[in-house]
Each structure stands twice: as C-alpha cells, then as structure tokens.
C-alpha cells in the first residue's frame, strides 16, 4: 500500500435560495425516503455507491451500529429509483444549531452518467432545508453542508457547485491507499 495525497473540499449553502435545482431526468425516475430504518438496506446502498471510490469508514460497522445510527432523530435516507431499481442515495444528518450535513451522496456506478445525480442532489438538498418540518422540535435549517474529495467521482464537485453549494474549506492530507473494496469482488467498475 502507498500513501497518496487526498484533497477534501467542504461546501455549503446558507440560505434555501442558494439551491439551484437540476432538471428532472426523463423516464421512470422517482425519489423516496426510506422511512423504516434498515441496516441491511443502508449498508447495501453505502457499499454499492461507495465501493469503487473507497468509502470504507462504515464497512466494519455491526448491525447494531447501523441501527443505532439510523434510529437517531432526523437522520434520513433519500433513495433515487430508476424504473424501480435503487440507483443511489443521499443521507441527511442534522447537527446542532440548525445545521444539516449531507453525509453521503452518490449513485451506484451502473447508474452514473444518466442525469440522476443532479436531480438527486437537488432533491436531497431541498429535504435538508425542510428537515425540521418532518421532525418536531428540530430547529429550522440555517445551513446545509457536505464534503467531497479527490477520490470521489469526476463530476462530483461540478454537480455540487451547479446546485449552488459554495466552497468554504479545503484540506489536503496523505492517506494510505488500500485496495478498492467494491460492493463485492468482481463488481462493476467504470
């Protein structure tokens, strides 16, 4: 294994009017909230979307850890479906003082390049802005933020900026490059 430099960019919206929605793609595409916390489904989305871009932070989580995370008030998973098939997701996590982070966002590799990403990000950001409407007692959202890095998809940064997210921090660190896990050996790779 070798060390490689990884740049992480943090972006934000500080007002709902910052959101610049993408056009909805043609075809049978819908987005729905996964309202029943399901560790199995969430782990499937996490591994399938992030397998080729080194999402490894949660791969070691136990069933109980997934359940505990998903049961936290305000944590939401929004899934985009293409003709009934899960194609990607956005995970929202409320923080203190009206801040909501889009913790994870992305598409399963086979669904990239089909104009689903801009639509899902638009929808996910809008749901971050109105999260308090679904969770009584939550402060209204004042800020939505996310981060991306140089290991993410080539269109990630452009998508975030086209949806109205503004850069507020950049950090570079050396990380040990492990083999790309993928959702399972031999899975689709672009």
At 127-170, the pLDDT tens digits run: 999 999 999 999 999 999 999 999 888 889 999 999 999 999 99
d(CA 82, CA 121): 15
103 domain-assigned: yes
Percent of the chain with pLDDT over 70: 92
Range of the domain at 69: 2-177
Q: Is residue 41 part of a domain?
A: yes
Number of domains in the chain: 1
Beta bridge partners of 93: 101
Q: Is residue 185 part of a domain?
A: no
- DSSP-assigned beta bridge partners for residue 100: 94, 144
Give the number of other Cβ atoms within 10 Å of residue 182's Cβ. Answer: 16
pLDDT at 56: 84
Q: Is residue 189 part of a domain?
A: no
Concatenated DSSP letters of 34-50 = --S--HHHHHHHHHHHH
Q: What per-residue confidence (pLDDT) applies to 190?
A: 47
In a domain, 186, yes or no: no
Q: Characterize 151-175 residue by residue with b for buried, 16 or more Cβ atoms within 10 angstroms of its Cβ, and e for exposed.
A: bbbeebbebbeebbbeeeeeeeeee
What is the CATH classification number for the domain harbouring 113?
3.40.630.30
Domain annotation covers residue 184: no
Q: With respect to residue 188, please indicate whether it lies within any of the assigned structural domains.
A: no
pLDDT of res. 64: 97
In a domain, 50, yes or no: yes
What Rg, from alpha-carbon coordinates, does the chain have? 16
Angle at 157 between CA 52 and CA 60, to 5 degrees: 35
**pTM for this entry:** 0.92
């Amino acid at each position: 294994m070798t060390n490689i430099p990884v740049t992480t960019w943090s972006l934000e919206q500080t007002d709902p009017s910052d959101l610049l929605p993408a056009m909805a793609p043609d075809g049978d595409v819908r987005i729905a909230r996964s309202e029943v916390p399901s560790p199995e489904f969430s782990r499937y989305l996490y591994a399938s979307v992030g397998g080729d871009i080194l999402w490894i932070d949660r791969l070691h989580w136990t069933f109980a850890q997934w359940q505990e995370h998903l049961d936290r008030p305000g944590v939401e998973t929004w899934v985009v479906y293409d003709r009934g098939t899960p194609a990607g997701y956005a995970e929202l996590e409320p923080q203190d003082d009206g801040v909501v982070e889009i913790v994870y966002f992305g598409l399963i590799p086979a669904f990239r390049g089909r104009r689903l990403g801009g639509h899902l990000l638009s929808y996910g950001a809008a749901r971050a802005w109105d999260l308090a409407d679904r969770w009584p007692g939550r402060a209204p959202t004042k800020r939505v933020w996310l981060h991306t890095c140089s290991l993410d998809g080539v269109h990630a940064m452009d998508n975030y900026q086209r949806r109205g997210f503004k850069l507020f921090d950049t950090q570079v660190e050396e990380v040990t490059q492990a083999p790309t896990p993928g959702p399972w050996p031999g899975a689709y790779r672009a």
